[in-house]
Amino acid sequence: MTLSLDQARTIIRKTLEKGRAENFKPLSVVVLDAGGHVQAFEREDGASPGRFGIAHGKAYGSVMLGMAGTAQMARADAQAYFMTAVNGVFGGQVVPVPGGILIRDADGAVMGAVGVTGDTSDNDVIAAMAGIDAAGLSAEV
Amino acid sequence: MTLSLDQARTIIRKTLEKGRAENFKPLSVVVLDAGGHVQAFEREDGASPGRFGIAHGKAYGSVMLGMAGTAQMARADAQAYFMTAVNGVFGGQVVPVPGGILIRDADGAVMGAVGVTGDTSDNDVIAAMAGIDAAGLSAEV
Amino acid sequence: MTLSLDQARTIIRKTLEKGRAENFKPLSVVVLDAGGHVQAFEREDGASPGRFGIAHGKAYGSVMLGMAGTAQMARADAQAYFMTAVNGVFGGQVVPVPGGILIRDADGAVMGAVGVTGDTSDNDVIAAMAGIDAAGLSAEV
Amino acid sequence: MTLSLDQARTIIRKTLEKGRAENFKPLSVVVLDAGGHVQAFEREDGASPGRFGIAHGKAYGSVMLGMAGTAQMARADAQAYFMTAVNGVFGGQVVPVPGGILIRDADGAVMGAVGVTGDTSDNDVIAAMAGIDAAGLSAEV
C-alpha cells in the first residue's frame, strides 16, 4: 500500500499549519511514495530556494534504507564513511538528519516518507508529526 | 516578482480539476519560481512514478532558457544537437516539449514556470492553461 | 500491490526455460517492483557481462514512464530528442526497446516490470511472456 | 574461472535460508562475477527498496579492490580519504563494510564476490558464509 495524493495533501497542509502555529521559520514539506518517488511538495514563501533538495534528501534516504532520519544520523555519527558511501550509491540524494520520517501501515510496511526542512531538525520533526497525526498515519522519526 | 505558494496551489488545483473534467490520464503538475526552483508539486494517483522528473524537466528548461516548451520543441526539431548541448549544460534536466509553460508578470518578466505531464503534450497544455488562467496569470506556452 | 520475490523467481525461471526450449542466445532477466527497484535478476552463463544494465534499462524505463518497451521505441522513432531528454532526467538508465514489459494487476495498476535481453528484442519478449504467463500475471509489451 | 549461475543460485538460496533460520531482518543478496558484473540478485519481501545498491556496493568494492568488506572497513577507519578517493574512481559504487565477501578458487584467484545487506553487518556475513559454504566455495570476509 502506498500513500494517496489526498493523504499527502493532508500531511503537507497540517505540517505547515503547525509551523505557523509554533512560529517556526518557513517550512518545506515533501511526501514520497513507497518507492521513494515524489507525490507532493510545498515550499512556503520566504524559504530559501534549495529547500526541495533538502526535504527530498531527508525523505528519500528514509525510504531507500528503510531507516528514518534519527537512525541515519546515529549511523553517520558512528561511521561517517558508511553514510558517505551510501550517498555514492544513491547519487548524493541522502540527507541523514532528523526530519526524514517513515510512514508505516498497520502491518508495519513502509507506505512512504515525509521530509521537512526550514527550522531546526527537532522543530521540523514536530511539524511533520502534526501533519502525519492529522492524516491518521503511523510514523517512525 | 516571483510566484507565491498560494498562486502555485491555485495553478495546481485548477490544472488537475481541468484534467478530471476532460477525462485526461492522471496528471502531474510542478510549479517553479523565477529561479527555476521547485515551489509546489502534485502527482495524481495512478500516474507513473517518474512523473516528477518529466514535469520538472518541462518547467525547468522553460525558466532556464526563458523559452516555453513549444519553442524548445521547434528548436529541437530544427537543431537536435543544440538541445543536446543545452542538456549537457543543465545536467540533463531539460525536457523540450509542450507542457512547459512560462508565467510572466504585467511587464513581461518571468515569474516562474509550470510543467504538466501525463496525457498528450497538447492536453497537458490545455490543463495547465486552465490552472494559470484561474490564478489570473499570463502564460507563454 | 507490488510483486513478491516468489513471483519474481517464477518469472525469471520460466523466462530462462523458454529461452532454452527455443534455443535462444543466453538471456538475462530482471524483475523490478512498482517503484522501479530491483527485486531479482539472473544472467545465464555465456551472456556478456553488461547484460544487467541492458535488462534493467528496459524494465526501468517501463516503470518510470508507465510505458512498455514497444511504446517507448515508437516514441523514440517519432521524436528521438524526447527519449534523449528522458534519459537525462533518469540518469541515462532508460533503454527504449522491446523487452521491457509492464506487469499490471487486475485493476490495471502497475505492479512492476520485467526486462529481458540477450537475443533479438522480439525473442526477448517471447521468453518474457512465457515467464509472466507462468506466474499468472497480466503483461503489456 | 568465474562463478556459474547455478553456483550463484545456490549461494543466494542458502544465504536467505540461513537468514530465515536465524530470524534476521529481510536480506538482499547479490553475486558478482570475476569482472565485478552482476550475475544474480534476490531481495526478500519487506526489505527496503534501496537494498540492491547497498548489496552491490559491498560486493563491487570487494572485486574491484581484491579486498573484502572487513579489510575495506579497516582501511576506511584508518584512512577515510583513501576510501573517498576510491569511490571517486569507481563512481561512488563502493560500500566499504562487512558483508562484501570475496570468493576464491583453489589457487586463490578471485572468482567473484557476494554482497549481503539487511541485518547488522556481522549477521549479513553469517548468512553469506552459510551460502558460500553450501556452494562448496572458499571465502574471504
pLDDT of residue D69: 97
| Max CA pair span of chain C | 39
pLDDT of residue B1: 75
pLDDT of residue B2: 84
Q: Which of C13, C38, C43 is nearest to C28 (CA)?
A: C43
DSSP A43: E
User: Which of C36, C88, C90 is closest, CB to CB, to B87?
Assistant: C88
Q: What is the ipTM of this complex?
A: 0.96
Mean pLDDT across the stretch A66-90? 95
Q: Which of A93, A32, A100, A31 is nearest to A62 (CA)?
A: A100
Question: Which grid coordinates are listed for B63?
Answer: 525558466
- CA of A86, closest CA in chain D: separation in Å? 7
Whether residue B106 is predicted with pLDDT greater than 90 in this model: the reply is no
A-C C-beta contacts closer than 8 Å: 15
Query: Which residues of chain C fall below pLDDT 70?
Result: none
CB contact under 8 A, D83 and A81: yes
What does the domain layout of chain D look like in residue ranges?
A: 5-140
Residue B76 touches partner C, C-beta closer than 8 Å: yes
CB contact under 8 A, D45 and C4: yes
pLDDT of residue D1: 75
Mean pLDDT across the stretch D126-141? 96
Whether residue A122 is predicted with pLDDT greater than 90 in this model: the reply is yes
pLDDT of residue C12: 98
Q: Which of B60, B70, B89, B50 is nearest to B129 (CA)?
A: B70
Residue C133 touches partner D, C-beta closer than 8 Å: no
Residue C35 touches partner D, C-beta closer than 8 Å: yes
Residue A95, phi then psi, degrees to nearest 5: -115, 100
User: Which of C35, C84, C86 is closest, CB to CB, to B49?
Assistant: C35
CB contact under 8 A, A52 and B44: no
Per-residue pLDDT of D85-100, as tens digits, reads 999 999 999 999 999 9
How much of chain A exceeds pLDDT 90, in percent? 96
How much of chain C exceeds pLDDT 70, in percent? 100
* CATH number for the domain running over C5-140: 3.30.450.150
pLDDT of residue D71: 96
pLDDT of residue A95: 97
Handedness of CA C99, A93, B33, B64 (dihedral sign): negative
- Measured in whole angstroms, the distance separating CA B118 from the mean position of its chain's CA atoms is 12
Distances C126 to B89, C51, C108, D1 between C-alpha atoms, Å = 41, 18, 22, 32
User: Which of A66, A82, A89 is closest, CB to CB, to D92?
Assistant: A89
Quote the CA–CA distance of B25 and A84 in Å, as a whole number: 40
Residue B86 touches partner C, C-beta closer than 8 Å: no
Residue B49 touches partner A, C-beta closer than 8 Å: yes
Per-residue pLDDT of B20-58, as tens digits, reads 999 999 999 999 999 999 999 999 999 999 999 999 999
User: Which of D5, D44, D50 is closest, CB to CB, to C5?
Assistant: D44
In sequence order, the β-bridge partners of residue B115 are B30, B100
